[in-house]
Homo-oligomer: A and B are copies of this chain.
């Protein structure tokens, strides 16, 4: 089944203690699509400017990403620059130029409207609602968000949360959205907002998945060297949604497996700069790492 993502496509400048990337292909929807492409033919809804390199479009298409929904508008592409110190959990944004992204309104090509799996990347919750209004009968909808929308657009964000099946957010966002430091309680509070499946990413500590009746704890992959954490969360979401769309099942175990595949894709992303590792990745590598996740959690038999 088809997975659709709406989010940003950007040119990223990233500095880490291990190197630098200049105006590289980035953005949440880019990482999502490349990760999802290991399972599906993801449909990308985003906007870029006229300066967006043709080479990046070709990269996306070569990787099995459907770019019909990638709108090109007069103006410049969204640019983001950030810096990581030795503690790669702490990121400093050096500059953000929204450019054409500032006036973005997602418009879905006709065939995209039938998409069964929909991921609302981290954009203004009003735009997330606009996407929901354009899809006819999705089977599974998940959304991402960030502290900025939690603090400034809580009401609209709550409308989104009511209309999605799952929310994917990191631990600090979950605590802030729920006004509750304990993550298990925070998940309950978020469920009370109307979204029953809550996935909380904890970076190097793995990830938690709560339904009203179950709890799942996924480990992190024990990486000894993280080169660039940019896009890890979006790759997680892409692997997660891509796996679900490919297998077309939404029972508890399938969702748990999808979370592990999300963790697998995220663990690869951070091994190199930008999207580099995702581009060179093979399906056997993905499967082998999934099996490693099985091995590192096994204790009973």
Residue of B nearest to A253 (CB): B299
Instruction: Determine if A62 is an interface residue (Cβ-Cβ < 8 Å).
Output: no
Nearest Cβ on chain B to A247's Cβ, whole angstroms: 13
Q: Are A181 and B86 in contact, with the CB atoms below 8 A?
A: yes
Among the listed B205, B216, B223, B297, which residue makes an inter-chain contact with A202, where contact means beta carbons less than 8 Å apart?
B205
Q: What B residues does A188 contact at CB under 8 A?
A: 224
Q: Nearest Cβ distance between residue A171 and chain B, in whole angstroms?
A: 10
Q: A182-B223, A184-B224, A218-B299 are in contact. List 5 more A-B contacts (CB 8 A).
A: A184-B223, A208-B222, A253-B298, A253-B301, A294-B300
Interface string of A176-199 (1 = CB under 8 A from B): 000001111100100000000000
Contact A299 B256 (CB under 8 A): yes
| Interface presence of A49 (CB below 8 A) | no
Residue contact B299 to A184, C-beta cutoff 8 Å: no
Q: Give A260 Cβ to nearest chain B Cβ, in Å.
A: 5
Contact of A219 among B217, B256, B301 (CB under 8 A): B217
Interface residues on A, range: 35 or more
Q: Are B224 and A182 in contact (CB under 8 A)?
A: yes
> Contact check: which of B202, B205, B222 meets A184 at CB < 8 Å?
B222
Q: Cβ of A206 < 8 Å from any Cβ of B?
A: yes
A87-B181 contact given A202-B205, A299-B216, CB 8 Å threshold: yes
Known interface pairs A181-B86, A184-B222, A202-B205; A257-B294 also in contact (CB < 8 Å): no
Known pairs A181-B86, A257-B299, A298-B256; A217 contacts B224 (CB<8 A): no
Interface string of A93-123 (1 = CB under 8 A from B): 0000000000000000000000000000000
Residues of B within 8 A of A215 (CB): 222, 296
A299 touches B219 (CB 8 A): no
**How far is the CB of A189 from the nearest CB of chain B, in Å?**
11
> 5 shortest A-B CB distances, which residue pairs?
A217-B219, A256-B299, A205-B205, A184-B222, A184-B224
- In the complex formed, the residue of B with least CB distance to A87 is B181
Q: Can you name the residue of chain B whose Cβ is closest to the Cβ of A290? A: B300
Interface centre among A204, A224, A259 (most CB of B within 10 A): A224
Check if A219 sits within 8 Å of B219, measured CB to CB: yes
Q: Indicate the member of A86, A202, A219, A225 with the most B CB atoms within 10 Å.
A: A219
> Is B222's CB under 8 angstroms from A220's CB?
no
Looking at the assembled complex, report how far the CB atom of A185 sits from the nearest CB atom of chain B, in whole angstroms. Answer: 5
User: What chain B residues lie within 8 Å of A257 (beta carbons)?
Assistant: 299-300
In the bound complex, residues from chain B placing their C-beta under 8 Å from that of A296 are 214-217
Contact bitstring A281-301, B, C-beta under 8 A = 1, else 0:
000000000000011111111
